[in-house]
Amino acid sequence: MGSGRRAVVVGAGIIGCAVGLELARHDWSVTVVDRGTTPGNGSTSASSAMVRFNYDHFAEAAIAWEAAPRWVEWQRYLGVVDPAGMAEFVRTGLLVLDGHLMNRPLVLQHMRTLGVPYEELDAAQIRERFPAIDPARLGPSCRVEDEHFWVEPTGEIGGFVQADSGFVLDATLAAHNLAYAAEQAGAMFHWRGQVVAVDADEQRVRGVTLADGATLPADVVVNAAGPWSVALNTMAGVLGDFTSSTRAVEQEVISVPAPPGFGLDDGGTGVHDSDFATYFRPHPGGTVIAGSFEPPCDPLVFVADADDVADRVTSQTWEVQSLRLARRLPGLQVPGSKSGVVSAYDVTDDWIPTYDRTNLSGYYVAIGTSGHQFKAAPFVGEVMATLIDAVESGHDHDVDPLTVHGSWNDVDVDLAQFSRLRPVVPHEGMR
């Protein structure tokens, strides 16, 4: 089970399981601890699991592009077959509509730099290729109670298509696959383990203490606790030099019956609507799932405790999201009963994740993943394992930030972009 180097990863979501797998592959003796009973039952279970590359932040586009072929060749990446079944990548393509929430020239520049293929479309081409979608200019985004919501379109919009995008079918199973692969590589999982203290002396972290009094000694602790990450960082006392810590925000994703021409096997595609602030995609069972880009008109619901999220989709969210979707998909019939999922995500002020060391030696963070880093998880595991190996071998990452090379798509990722010390520009627009 690895060398004498001991690592504890806190959190068994998609990120924590990926970090656990890659640390085990890097010859660490790994324990992943989670207060739940199975992998991926927190934020991961509510993920839309979309795989896409249209970011205005280059480093996020890069890690998504580098991670993508691992999803496509999932068994090859894992090196094992999980007896519980294997998650599947479903290639739907992604239509990205123009709008005030996207800097199209910047997004396309990043994609060209990375070698991500795309095709630009005008409104007529969108209508021809995706007849279920109305390419009307409906924005800027607003609430249903705003009179602008119901005005006639002010024109039409174009966009672009990225054919290699899609989604991972069964996000929770994907986390289970990673956990199984990690176990086969020597990692151990400690379930029903709630961390109540980060143990450290004046020099470095020494492990964690659990609610039942048990201790897990470690040379390295990785915080991958998602919306519970800020509580763990507070225990560790590491937040003093963070330019942006994380907060837990409630997220609601609705589910509606797919209209004609937009089913998974009937013309449906992933859509990022930066004009009307929604994202949506077809889903098995003849449904469409949809969420918000958190435009300024949609208030963020921050929760002090990630356990305090709503237990069902709220009427306010259901109304605005279903009606926004109906304006973009004219054939949609909005059902009378609400359906969807609610969860909490951990977000930073700029909605860019933090993958970094901290000022407590041996204590690392993979946090602020904001619901949109599911797609990057397989490569994030490699990023964190590479970073940890370098820093534990004496590299000063704060002074000389690492660049990690991805071998699957030949991508270089500058980890300064994910530093806890990075300049923070508050989030506006889609992520």
**DSSP alpha helix (H) spans, 185-294:** 229-236
Query: Residues 262, 338: one domain?
Result: yes
> Which pTM does this prediction carry?
0.96
Query: Residues 285, 143: one domain?
Result: yes
Question: Given strand 88-91, what is the order of strands in its sheet?
Answer: 50-51, 166-169, 88-91
Q: Is 158 helix (H, G, I), strand (E, B) or coil?
A: coil
**Phi and psi angles of residue 48, each rounded to the nearest 5 degrees, phi first:** -75, -15
Helices 171-184 and 377-392 sit at what angle, rounded to 10 degrees? 40
Position 307 scores a pLDDT of 86
Is residue 425 domain-resident?
no
Where among 347, 375, 395 does a domain terminate? 347
Q: Which domain holds residue 203?
A: 6-85+170-244+350-418
Domain count, the chain: 2
Is residue 424 domain-resident?
no
Q: Answer yes or no: are the C-beta atoms of 364 and 220 closer than 8 Å.
A: yes
**Which residues does the chain have with pLDDT short of 70?**
1-3, 427-431
Is residue 116 domain-resident?
yes
CA distance 107 to 96: 11
Is residue 131 domain-resident?
yes
Is residue 361 domain-resident?
yes
Residues in the chain: 431
Where among 301, 329, 347 does a domain terminate? 347
Where among 347, 368, 387 does a domain terminate? 347
Query: Residues 199, 325: one domain?
Result: no
Query: Residues 316, 368: one domain?
Result: no
Query: Residues 256, 359: one domain?
Result: no
Q: Which residues contact 301 (CB under 8 A, 6 or more apart)?
A: 249, 250
Query: Residues 72, 195: one domain?
Result: yes
CA distance 369 to 350: 11
Is residue 423 domain-resident?
no
Query: Residues 359, 403: one domain?
Result: yes
Query: Residues 12, 142: one domain?
Result: no
Position 306 scores a pLDDT of 86
Give the number of C-alpha atoms closer than 13 A to the C-alpha of residue 108, restricted to the C-beta side. 12
Query: Residues 258, 342: one domain?
Result: yes
Cis before 153 (ω within 30): no
CA distance 356 to 18: 16
DSSP label of 415: G
**CATH code (residue 206):** 3.50.50.60
Query: Residues 190, 321: one domain?
Result: no
Query: Residues 159, 251: one domain?
Result: yes
Is residue 187 domain-resident?
yes
Query: Residues 188, 102: one domain?
Result: no
**CATH code (residue 157):** 3.30.9.10
Is residue 78 domain-resident?
yes
